[in-house]
Chain A
């Protein structure tokens, strides 16, 4: 009998040395290694910090506004000037920024911009994150089934993905919204929650083929790996292979592409609300704030700039984080 030490002498280079040098007996998984590398990536850490900060601000919006003594739906009559067409009173560039209203007020109504921005973040992020979950779940399941089972299943799912990706979803959404909103109303789902739900489902549904294609491609190459055959020769069924063997190898892609698709969904939601087919006032979202502010761009440019900057920041940091994650999880994928 030969001992494994023989192997280490001749066969291997780096990994074995590593094993020996390791203090404990605990191994390091690929995930732990990726996290270790991520921690040493400054941009990744900065963008992660910013994303967490923005999420916290959104989650804590009710608390923050309470402390500041403002409210997103109250009309602060005192902050607007009825003689000048209800434009904000004072502040730089006619924004109405003051001690009471740190980011000014909305022209016309006098609603507090900071409160609306914070509450708007809640809706915008809720829609984007939930829609991403919808896309990931549908895309991963159908993509993995198509890739693993192949044949007719693959042909059907692949054509369905082509079809959905070719759909002009924005136009469809604009056309369909009134129909759905009335339908939801009749079903007794009230305005805003109904619209939020509808946007989540709609954006999420039209986005799954994007994940589906990526996952299908990954599964196509993974299923040829011998560990799949090993599991099958032990008697594992499709469920075990998909969820126990393949899924752990898909998490990296799922994470990377989620963090890259979240910002595009934030953008989609903003675009829809901007066009007035998303969530409508008085419920604030960054999209409808932007849509509203365009009319006042000349007299109150900061009112346009503030939600615009918020949108830009979130999208930027999500993208930076997604890129860093991709580099860390799959060095070969870096372009």
Chain B
């Protein structure tokens, strides 16, 4: 067991060479201002508060946590729609934490995004050809067969009728729209796609189809995914590793199987006990941990361990000392003073 300093980065176990994405101590504080003319800063929303992880090419990192824990903010920091308050983001070995918009522009081809809401992520006044062709136009890329042909190929690849090129978003269903969003993200052949709850707004039956499509594309194009979700059941299937976030911090980060079978962080335990288990025999033996109390505000997070106000194991030490994200076993990171020893099931 190693005891790295707070800035050490939890890495994938079989790491070879530089990872595609490396995030170190990432922070985003949104200032809260009062006053109309003379604005005074009265506090900060600590949306992301010291997050570190890596993602290798072709890998999927699940990012899970309750609403408001900073998942989307993390995503926006990675593709620099937001500028970090502190910490670093290295993409392909390049520090992009504070680079200018014009320096970021070419890098945007490699980092794409898929959004949660299939209704608001497509411009209702643009037809599908314009929407999926936008990456080429914005990035000024000439394709061999012309934009139209490329768009039609993309539509076909995501399982849509290429003839629907001239149709408008309102003429498609939620699942189809999400495929359009995927085609747009795929257009420039990125290395990494940030999927911000891409299936949360869809019917359960369609969720699986979209996730299958994402997996197929990952295999075909060696894509890295950051797959954001608010419950552990959705990311289980697609993720290689999973990071569990709470109030802007990573609580636990490890391989998918390990996280689901041998979680050590009390917060992960609480989340997993909310996920139904298919086996009724196991379900009966399982202890249910109900999360009590409200989610604290990110403006005023609890002292010490941020989870202590709702943790079933919280003790005095949790209040006084902030637990560091430590490697409890090779490739298994957790932030807790009193990690769970026993297996979940």
Chain A interface (Cβ < 8 Å from any Cβ of B): 1-4, 6-8, 10-12, 15-16, 18-19, 22, 25-31, 155, 225-227, 229-237, 240, 245, 248-249, 251
Contact B115 A226 (CB under 8 A): yes
Residues of A within 8 A of B203 (CB): 10-11
Cβ of B167 < 8 Å from any Cβ of A?
A: yes
Contact of B159 among A1, A19, A155 (CB under 8 A): A1
List residues 44-88 of chain B with CB under 8 A from any CB of chain A. Answer: 76, 79, 81
Contact B171 A15 (CB under 8 A): yes
Contact B173 A8 (CB under 8 A): yes
Residues of A within 8 A of B115 (CB): 226, 229-230
Determine how close the nearest CB of chain B comes to the CB of A307; give it in whole angstroms: 41
Across the interface, name the chain B residue whose C-beta is closest to A234. B138
Cβ of B127 < 8 Å from any Cβ of A?
A: yes
Central interface residue in B116, B124, B165, by most chain A CB within 10 Å: B124
- With A27-B168, A233-B112 already in contact, the answer to whether A4 and B206 are too (CB < 8 A) is no
Contact of B166 among A1, A27, A31, A230 (CB under 8 A): A27
Residues of A within 8 A of B161 (CB): 4
Selecting from B101-109, B258-266, B302-310, B311-319, the interface stretch reads: B101-109
Contact B206 A16 (CB under 8 A): no
Contact B121 A3 (CB under 8 A): no
Cβ of B28 < 8 Å from any Cβ of A?
A: no
Across the interface, name the chain B residue whose C-beta is closest to A232. B81
Cβ of B3 < 8 Å from any Cβ of A?
A: no
Contact B127 A27 (CB under 8 A): yes
Chain B interface (Cβ < 8 Å from any Cβ of A): 36-37, 76, 79, 81, 101, 104-105, 108, 111-113, 115-117, 120-128, 134-135, 138-139, 159-161, 163-168, 170-176, 179, 181, 184, 188, 202-203, 205-206, 209, 212-213, 216
Residues of B within 8 A of A3 (CB): 159
Contact A12 B174 (CB under 8 A): yes
Contact B127 A235 (CB under 8 A): no
Determine how close the nearest CB of chain B comes to the CB of A218; give it in whole angstroms: 13
- With A2-B212, A30-B124, A225-B120 already in contact, the answer to whether A233 and B81 are too (CB < 8 A) is yes
Central interface residue in B120, B125, B175, by most chain A CB within 10 Å: B125
- With A7-B174, A15-B171, A28-B168 already in contact, the answer to whether A233 and B205 are too (CB < 8 A) is no
Across the interface, name the chain A residue whose C-beta is closest to B33. A151
- With A2-B159, A226-B115, A233-B112 already in contact, the answer to whether A16 and B212 are too (CB < 8 A) is no
Contact A4 B123 (CB under 8 A): no
In the complex, 10 of the A-B residue pairs with CB atoms within 8 angstroms, ordered by the A residue number, are: A11-B173, A12-B176, A18-B171, A25-B167, A226-B116, A227-B120, A229-B115, A233-B111, A234-B139, A240-B138
Contact B159 A4 (CB under 8 A): yes
- Bound-state Cα–Cα, A48 to B97, Å: 56
Contact B206 A6 (CB under 8 A): yes
Contact of A29 among B111, B121, B168 (CB under 8 A): B168
Central interface residue in A2, A31, A232, A249, by most chain B CB within 10 Å: A2
Residues of B within 8 A of A18 (CB): 171
Residues of B within 8 A of A237 (CB): 101
Determine how close the nearest CB of chain A comes to the CB of B207; give it in whole angstroms: 11
Residues of B within 8 A of A11 (CB): 173-176, 202-203, 205-206
Across the interface, name the chain B residue whose C-beta is closest to A29. B168
- Bound-state Cα–Cα, A227 to B139, Å: 16
Contact A4 B81 (CB under 8 A): no
- With A11-B175, A27-B164 already in contact, the answer to whether A233 and B159 are too (CB < 8 A) is no
- Bound-state Cα–Cα, A4 to B183, Å: 13
- Bound-state Cα–Cα, A226 to B245, Å: 23
- With A248-B123, A249-B124 already in contact, the answer to whether A235 and B108 are too (CB < 8 A) is yes
Contact A230 B113 (CB under 8 A): yes
- With A1-B159, A25-B163, A236-B138 already in contact, the answer to whether A19 and B123 are too (CB < 8 A) is no
Across the interface, name the chain B residue whose C-beta is closest to A25. B163
Determine how close the nearest CB of chain A comes to the CB of B25; give it in whole angstroms: 23
Residues of A within 8 A of B168 (CB): 27-30
Contact of B213 among A2, A30, A230, A240 (CB under 8 A): A2
- Bound-state Cα–Cα, A30 to B169, Å: 10
Q: Which 5 A-B pairs have the closest CB atoms?
A: A27-B167, A12-B173, A7-B175, A248-B125, A226-B121
- With A30-B125, A232-B81 already in contact, the answer to whether A155 and B171 are too (CB < 8 A) is no
Residues of B within 8 A of A234 (CB): 108, 112, 134-135, 138-139, 188
- Bound-state Cα–Cα, A236 to B131, Å: 13
Residues of B within 8 A of A245 (CB): 123
Residues of A within 8 A of B160 (CB): 4
Residues of A within 8 A of B205 (CB): 6, 10-11
- Bound-state Cα–Cα, A244 to B127, Å: 13
- With A2-B213, A249-B123 already in contact, the answer to whether A229 and B171 are too (CB < 8 A) is no
Contact B166 A25 (CB under 8 A): yes
- Bound-state Cα–Cα, A19 to B173, Å: 10
Across the interface, name the chain B residue whose C-beta is closest to A1. B216
Across the interface, name the chain A residue whose C-beta is closest to B155. A4
Across the interface, name the chain B residue whose C-beta is closest to A33. B170
Residues of B within 8 A of A240 (CB): 138
